[in-house]
Amino acid sequence: MSVPHRDSQPREPIFNSIPLAVLILALAILGAELLRWLVPPLGQFVYEASVLINVPPGTLAPAQPLGPWAPYLLHIFVHFGWLHIIMNLVVLVSAGRLVAGALGQGWRGTAVFLGFFAACSIAGGISQVIADSNSFLTLGGASTGVSGLIAAAGWVRGGQGGMLRLTLPWIAINLLIGLLGIAVPIPIGWAAHIGGAIAGAGLFPLALYLARR
């Protein structure tokens, strides 16, 4: 007869096990999506201010409330459906816990983590705009920054070799998506993922230095 085991030590609440920087990002991303559902006028403002838009040369881009540059970062708060946001949040929490743990959970580590995520997000946005410079583009989603976390998690788990083992397959997958998209349009920001991953691979050693100095 089996006897159920009861741990005498109380389990730590799940939110306590998530580093502050990761929790801040996850709640902000989730909150922005909930606004679109619960307060449509405010949600529409968030969407128009945050989505990254590129138009072909000679075409007038629509005006955005915070201007054309803010979306290079703010696009991480726009998602196209709950599946999109859930996938990004799952990777954000899983990879982010590793990265935030390496950077430290004090104020410095939290600030460096958020700055690192922002830099990867901006790099991803720039990469997608360059790749689609002659076409109409709307880009949203935290996967630009999340791609940087994938590379950083590789650094944490296995140094440079670990980073390459995670980053190169991710880049290869997205290159394949980009090539397939030449024949059949695929609504995935493959260049944004690559740009975010490359930024994460290159910037994480600097982030680690800044967090620990």
First to last CA, the chain: 56
Burial of residue 157 (CB within 10 Å: 0-12, 13-18, 19+) is middle
Q: Where are the alpha helices (DSSP H) in the chain?
A: 20-38, 40-50, 71-74, 82-103, 107-131, 143-183, 190-212
Do 201 and 153 meet the contact criterion of CB atoms below 8 Å apart?
A: no
How far does CA 61 lie from the centroid of its chain?
A: 25
How far apart CA 41 and CA 4 sit, in angstroms, is: 52
pLDDT score for 58: 81
pLDDT 10s per residue in the chain (213 long)? Answer: 444 444 444 454 444 589 999 999 999 999 999 988 899 999 899 999 999 999 888 888 888 999 999 999 999 999 998 999 999 999 999 999 999 999 998 999 999 999 999 999 999 999 999 999 888 989 999 999 999 999 999 999 999 999 999 999 999 999 999 998 887 778 899 999 999 999 999 999 999 999 988
For the whole model, what pTM was predicted?
0.90
Domains of the chain: 16-212 (1.20.1540.10)
What is the spatial distance between Cα 131 and Cα 125, in angstroms, rounded to a whole number?
Answer: 10
